[in-house]
Structure 1
Amino acid sequence: MDKTLHIVGGGMAGSEAAWQAANAGIDVVIHEMRPKVETFAHQTGLLGEMVCSNSFRSDDDEQNAVGLLHWEMRAANGLIMQTAEKHRLPAGGALAVDRDPFAQSVTDALMAHPNISVDYTEITDLPTEGTWIVATGPLTSSALGQAIATETGAEALAFFDAIAPIVYFDSIDMSKAWMQSRYDKGETEEERTAYLNCPMTKDQYEAFIDALAAAEKTEFHEGETAGYFDGCLPIEVMAERGRETLRFGPMKPVGLTNPHAPDDKPYAVVQLRRDNKLGTLYNIVGFQTKMKYGAQAYVFKQIPGLENARFARLGGIHRNTFLNSPTLLDEQMRLRSRPNIRFAGQITGVEGYVESAAMGLLAGRLAAAELNGETLEPPAHTTATGALITHISGGADAKTFQPMNVNFGLFPPVEGLKSGRRGRKDRYKAYTDRAKADWQDWLAG
């Protein structure tokens, strides 16, 4: 039996899957089409490149489900989390990274591993032989996407995903903007000043909403009827839901005090987060957009402090493909019709960098065990990783299946705990304590 594992895609899931399998003694070939075949969102040919954001979200492993997922991946010697720690940027209670050095380090680690090689060619069909993991992410090539759709007997589901613009720091007017994390969150001064804030008066906010509504948008092609993932809505789509929606979303003014006018409470605040270690680039938090480039520059320069902003990258929108996993995948992440093929990452219907990498970690371990002649059961659904795989492999309703971030709603209840807001802190702590114990048991085998 050929004990080589082939992985299609060198993003978060593919990179983590390769790392886990190689560390289990399996020879791994990563098939990555970049840089020979480019995508809309990627800028380099590096493995593990981040394209939508530089944030892994909350790092709180006691009160937040994604923070718990961080903890589980660290405990499993996860490459993505190890590398994120090395290139961490101040972001309050979140884990944000310097994206280019992060991707370079992921690439260097994988290329240096004696059990891993990389083949820079495009895979256009589903292989009939060998052991494979398809981890092509949201930007699966059209040829492979068609092959998947043909094999599954139904069109793969899809939604549209948007990315936020990035601004050069030296083009921001700091006489209007200031540095502060919401509620001064963070243990160090650097963490407490991790975000850059641009305040708006009521009149400025109303004018901004009008400009968003009037801006020229990217139109979908005929037949493209997919919706958006709620966690990555374009800002103008949020604004269409009500003029005050943004003030209760990415532009909420709470927990912040403008040192330029401490007695004036902003009506709305636009936040930017550092995008690289040098602090030369900042991304506009929550400002994913489908506005055309010319309209973006005009609208975003209406934000106080960004009147003369220069953009390192404008926002954009792309098609994001994923499987109806509850009907197509088994609990081992294998395609039911072709069990030599596993799927991992966002294409399985999880959402977010961390969730994608976690599914890669699990797929890599499951495939390695199978190639080593062993049987590895998935982790308990009381763990964050187990809750995700349970959800996508049958826990979700196939008729309404949509991409999902990890959240405590996917976990089985802990008996004997209070419900409601008052008991939430104790409940979440109970979830995480139970998950950590069960995850450690799973790792111990």
Structure 2
Amino acid sequence: MYINVIGAGLAGCEAAMQIASRGIEVHLYEMKPAKKSPAHKSDMFGELVCSNSLKAMRLESAAGLLKEEMRRLNSFLMKCADKCQVPAGGALAVDRNLFSAYVTDGIKNNPNIKIYSDEVTEIPSDAITVIATGPLTSDALAETIKQRFGDSLSFFDAAAPIVTSESIDRDFSFCASRYDRGGEDDYINCPMDKEEYLRFYNALVNAERAPLHDFDVNNPKVYEGCMPVEVMAQRGENTLRFGPMKPVGLVNPKTGHRPWAVLQLRKENSSGSMYNLVGFQTNLKFPEQKRVFSLIPALHKADFVRYGVMHRNTFLNSPKVLNADFSTKENKKLFFAGQITGVEGYMESAASGIIAGINACRVLEDKQTLIFPRQTMLGALSDYISDSSVKKFQPMGANFGVLPELENRPRDKRERGAAYSERAINTMERFISDNNIEV
């Protein structure tokens, strides 16, 4: 007996390893390298197509709590991330190529996983199946899913450019983490005064954008979490200064003052030879990206090794389609995992793969599937994507707002986060023990 897993992205790899670790054979289908989506470049598994940051590590943060819960469940990807971490202040960022290499090696060297380099266009009926094809599901399979379940939704996603370290003008930049969190060289900060910012802003909002090809150009749904910087800027002159270019928590040591606006650059790889423009996802034409972003003083000589791109993302209307165990309402032997379910973010996607993998095994063994407690971040996200009362479903990432309220809610934000996390971890530990979950 075996279980199918379709897609070798973050969710698919987590699901496959959870299943394989329980001694069950996995048939893992991945269309790369023969075929790639517009956003994928690498032949390796677990490719990070957007940022190389896996968000905050602090346990009192929602993102940090999610990662800790994943560790308690023997997350394969957390082990890979720990091996190739690069400095990023309070965030967990990785060398993306090393990360994918570790993921690929782990999957390929597992004797319980058989890899098929094929594009799946129909939903298999031969065995229990986990579909983890992500927000960039191939057109043929996406059409099959749409015909079967209906209400398929789409939105736009965008990736940020990457520049070489040596091309950043250090005379116009300084190294520091916001509020001095993390190492002082985790971020390169590119400050701007008011005049420089307004020159950049006006160029940005008037710059020429790339054609969207097969996208719905007349009514694009841009998801807030990955909004192109030029779209965000159109909301107002100061929007970026309260968003990705906010100067709070930073003082330019060369002037002794807080800048008017700041672009932060984060290490893209462990050697520090490349940096990405934090929060600068974009769909500007490549020459326009070079022209506009070079108006930032520290980037006036920047060498762009990758320009930003924009691509279509597809996800289910999960409250109508999925249960909280990530199985479909119509067939308990068919599971979905990853961003196609409406969980938003790298680790959120991977975490859903853990749950789908565990529950696929339990179905094979004729056991009751597990619904994680809402007091945990995993349980809260599972509850959100399956909540039939949600009428206008949109992707959701880890945040404390999805958790049940605390009985004695601290006023201090950090204390409140710590309290949520303590309750969640204690609940998760009891849940793992009570249900004899193999970790």
Deviations 1:124-160 (A, max 9, x none): 11122311100011110000000000001x2411100
Deviating above 6 A after TM superposition, structure 1's stretches of 4 or more consecutive aligned residues are none
Q: What is the Cα deviation at residue 302 of structure 1?
A: 0.7
Unaligned 5+ segments in structure 1 are: none
Q: What is the Cα deviation at residue 92 of structure 1?
A: 0.7
2:295 alignment partner, one of 293, 298, 302: 302
SS in 1 for 2:172: coil
Q: What is the Cα deviation at residue 23 of structure 1?
A: 0.7
Residue in 2 aligned with 1:251?
Answer: 245
Separation of aligned partners in 2, 1:403 and 1:268: 29
Contact 1:15–1:48, Cα closer than 8 Å, also in 2: yes
Residue in 1 aligned with 2:109?
Answer: 112
1:102 alignment partner, one of 89, 99, 102: 99
Q: What is the Cα deviation at residue 332 of structure 1?
A: 2.4
1:345 alignment partner, one of 318, 338, 359: 338
Pair 111,396 (structure 1): closer, same or farther in 2 beyond 3 Å:
farther
State the AA in 1 paired with 2:19: A
Residue in 2 aligned with 1:323?
Answer: 316
Residue in 2 aligned with 1:378?
Answer: 371
Matching of residue 124 in structure 1 with residue 121 in structure 2: yes
1:439 alignment partner, one of 421, 428, 432: 428
SS in 2 for 1:139: coil
SS in 1 for 2:298: coil
Residue in 2 aligned with 1:367?
Answer: 360
Unaligned 5+ segments in structure 2 are: none
TM-score with structure 1 length normalisation? 0.94
SS in 2 for 1:258: coil
Contact 1:349–1:403, Cα closer than 8 Å, also in 2: yes
Separation of aligned partners in 1, 2:389 and 2:132: 21
Map 1:73-152; keep pairs closer than 5 Å: 73-152=70-149
Deviations 1:33-56 (A, max 9, x none): 011001111111111111101001
State the AA in 2 paired with 1:434: R
Matching of residue 400 in structure 1 with residue 392 in structure 2: yes
1:206 alignment partner, one of 198, 222, 226: 198
Separation of aligned partners in 2, 1:138 and 1:283: 22
Residue in 2 aligned with 1:227?
Answer: 221
Separation of aligned partners in 2, 1:228 and 1:300: 22
SS in 1 for 2:156: strand
SS in 2 for 1:273: strand
Contact 2:333–2:360, Cα closer than 8 Å, also in 1: no
Separation of aligned partners in 2, 1:278 and 1:75: 30
Pair 249,6 (structure 1): closer, same or farther in 2 beyond 3 Å:
same
Contact 1:164–1:289, Cα closer than 8 Å, also in 2: yes
Q: What is the Cα deviation at residue 438 of structure 1?
A: 1.3
Separation of aligned partners in 2, 1:213 and 1:223: 21
Separation of aligned partners in 1, 2:399 and 2:409: 18
TM-score with structure 2 length normalisation? 0.96
Residue in 2 aligned with 1:241?
Answer: 235
Residue in 1 aligned with 2:415?
Answer: 426
Q: What is the Cα deviation at residue 373 of structure 1?
A: 2.5
State the AA in 2 paired with 1:352: G
Separation of aligned partners in 2, 1:256 and 1:117: 50
Contact 1:184–1:193, Cα closer than 8 Å, also in 2: no
Q: What is the Cα deviation at residue 355 of structure 1?
A: 0.2
Q: What is the Cα deviation at residue 395 of structure 1?
A: 5.9
Residue in 1 aligned with 2:175?
Answer: 179
Contact 1:131–1:340, Cα closer than 8 Å, also in 2: yes
Separation of aligned partners in 1, 2:350 and 2:63: 12
1:286 alignment partner, one of 279, 296, 309: 279
Separation of aligned partners in 2, 1:151 and 1:65: 34
- Could you say what the CA RMSD is over the residues aligned between the two structures, in angstroms? 1.4
Deviations 1:356-389 (A, max 9, x none): 0000011000101111232232211110100010
Q: Which moved more, 1:140-149 or 1:246-255?
A: 246-255
SS in 2 for 1:159: strand
Matching of residue 217 in structure 1 with residue 209 in structure 2: yes
Separation of aligned partners in 2, 1:120 and 1:324: 28
Separation of aligned partners in 2, 1:125 and 1:396: 30
Separation of aligned partners in 2, 1:437 and 1:266: 43
Pair 222,346 (structure 1): closer, same or farther in 2 beyond 3 Å:
closer
Contact 1:128–1:340, Cα closer than 8 Å, also in 2: no
Q: What is the Cα deviation at residue 265 of structure 1?
A: 3.4
State the AA in 2 paired with 1:177: S
Residue in 2 aligned with 1:168?
Answer: 164
Separation of aligned partners in 2, 1:297 and 1:25: 51
Contact 2:267–2:276, Cα closer than 8 Å, also in 1: yes
Q: What is the Cα deviation at residue 396 of structure 1?
A: 5.5
Pair 29,168 (structure 1): closer, same or farther in 2 beyond 3 Å:
same
Deviations 1:328-375 (A, max 9, x none): 112221222333210000000010001000000110001011112322
Q: What is the Cα deviation at residue 264 of structure 1?
A: 4.3
Pair 256,80 (structure 1): closer, same or farther in 2 beyond 3 Å:
same
Pair 222,329 (structure 1): closer, same or farther in 2 beyond 3 Å:
closer
